[in-house]
Chain A
């Protein structure tokens, strides 16, 4: 199983998903991220999904879950770089990812987090 690395930059955790997401890797990412948030006390999470081409309802739901978990650590989650096809798929699945903020790219995602703090 491939793992997704979590990078800490200042007060922000940066996760760039560059693999084809499997259910286990997403669950693992969720666990790793929870650990990392409690250890570092970061206030923002940026998840970059530019390279993700396929999502299903499970992964869509896990993204929302990650957002909810982060909020428990007082951290805001910003999902960046979603592809149009992925957005259409998620909408067709009826997932609006409530509780997760979105931005077009990592730069705008950082602006959102910095504007907040």
Chain B
């Protein structure tokens, strides 16, 4: 994209007006991020980028392009992590064009240089955008994983009685995890009674019910009995109107009732001391 040294002339222009352009660029970016990053920090980031842009334009060394891309990607990742919007992130790059334009507008002989430069900045802006969305996707998938880990505790209620308090929407992936964890715990602890508490499950549709039934029958195959507790009034109405049959699986209103049933089945009795 270099025609007759246009890029070199642009590089020379940027080098000569370094303080003015970089200063203006910095102002624009700071105004764009609305005080969430300090001016000094922005200044430091942009000084680096500015230097790299000049190096790329002057074609001084072949590593400059790679370094510029890496620096931009790093910056975008940081912005994505800190919760900046995509346009705020991209604006950081595009405002360089504006800063240069304000200065170059007076110099009429810089038009072809500015056009080439503008195309380069556009490319960089797109690169920023891409890096930003990749970083965002990473964050989302990390959060999904940690939520999956967080959301499935198996607690021991009594000797031989365990409980799984489910909170949040159940989907296939989560139910699978719950099922595996419940069964593993049954085997590991030798418990023969499990209570699945769905107080925290907002909706139960046919799919969720299917998953629950599967979990219960898998636990039965291991030789453990399951009770489902914490069915909320609305959920109960949905279950009945959907025509879901829990068959011979014991369901209780509260976790306390389920525990009482489990204790009774284990031949234990709670007496006041």
A residues near B, CB below 8 A? 78-80, 82-84, 86-88, 90-92, 96-97, 101-105, 108-109
Q: What's the count of A-B pairs with C-beta under 8 Å?
A: 55
Tell me the bound Cα distance from A83 to B191 in angstroms. 14
| A88 and B222 contact, CB distance less than 8 A | no
Q: List 5 A-B contacts (CB under 8 A).
A: A79-B223, A87-B183, A88-B218, A92-B214, A97-B221
Q: Is B41 an interface residue (CB 8 A)?
A: no
B267 to chain A, nearest CB (A): 11
- Which residue in chain A gives the minimum CB-CB distance to B213? A91
Tell me the bound Cα distance from A31 to B9 in angstroms. 93
Q: Is B113 an interface residue (CB 8 A)?
A: no
Q: Is B56 an interface residue (CB 8 A)?
A: no
| B192 and A96 contact, CB distance less than 8 A | no
Which residues of B have CB within 8 Å of A103?
A: 192, 223
| B222 and A82 contact, CB distance less than 8 A | yes
Which residues of B have CB within 8 Å of A87?
A: 183, 218-219, 221-222
Q: Is B190 an interface residue (CB 8 A)?
A: yes
B266 to chain A, nearest CB (A): 12
User: Which of B199-233 touch A at CB < 8 Å?
Assistant: 214, 217-224
Chain B interface bracket (under 10, 10 to 19, 20 to 34, 35 or more): 10 to 19
Known: A83-B187, A84-B187, A88-B179. A104 touches B214 (CB 8 A): no
Known: A82-B223, A88-B180. A104 touches B217 (CB 8 A): no
| B218 and A102 contact, CB distance less than 8 A | no
- Which of the residues B180, B217, B220 comes within 8 Å of A84, measured between beta carbons? B180
B225 to chain A, nearest CB (A): 10
Q: Which 5 A-B pairs have the closest CB atoms?
A: A84-B183, A103-B223, A102-B223, A87-B218, A87-B221
Tell me the bound Cα distance from A59 to B178 in angstroms. 26
Q: Is B186 an interface residue (CB 8 A)?
A: yes
Which residues of B have CB within 8 Å of A97?
A: 221
A96 to chain B, nearest CB (A): 5
| A84 and B223 contact, CB distance less than 8 A | no
Bitwise interface map of B from 116 to 145 toward A, beta carbon under 8 Å scored 1, else 0: 000000000000000000000000000000
Which residues of A have CB within 8 Å of B223?
A: 78-80, 82, 101-104, 108-109
| A104 and B186 contact, CB distance less than 8 A | yes
- Which residue in chain B gives the minimum CB-CB distance to A105? B190
Q: Is B257 an interface residue (CB 8 A)?
A: no
**Residue among B179, B183, B190, B192 with max Cβ neighbours from chain A (10 Å):** B183
Which residues of A have CB within 8 Å of B184?
A: 84
Tell me the bound Cα distance from A2 to B164 in angstroms. 41
Which residues of B have CB within 8 Å of A102?
A: 220-223
B100 to chain A, nearest CB (A): 62
| A88 and B217 contact, CB distance less than 8 A | no
- Which residue in chain B gives the minimum CB-CB distance to A60? B221
| B192 and A104 contact, CB distance less than 8 A | yes
Which residues of B have CB within 8 Å of A80?
A: 223
Known: A83-B187, A87-B183, A104-B186. A96 touches B217 (CB 8 A): yes
Tell me the bound Cα distance from A101 to B225 in angstroms. 11
Which residues of A have CB within 8 Å of B187?
A: 83-84, 104
Tell me the bound Cα distance from A83 to B218 in angstroms. 10
B220 to chain A, nearest CB (A): 6
| B222 and A104 contact, CB distance less than 8 A | yes
A74 to chain B, nearest CB (A): 22
| B224 and A91 contact, CB distance less than 8 A | no
| A108 and B214 contact, CB distance less than 8 A | no
**Residue among B184, B214, B218, B220 with max Cβ neighbours from chain A (10 Å):** B218
| A90 and B221 contact, CB distance less than 8 A | yes
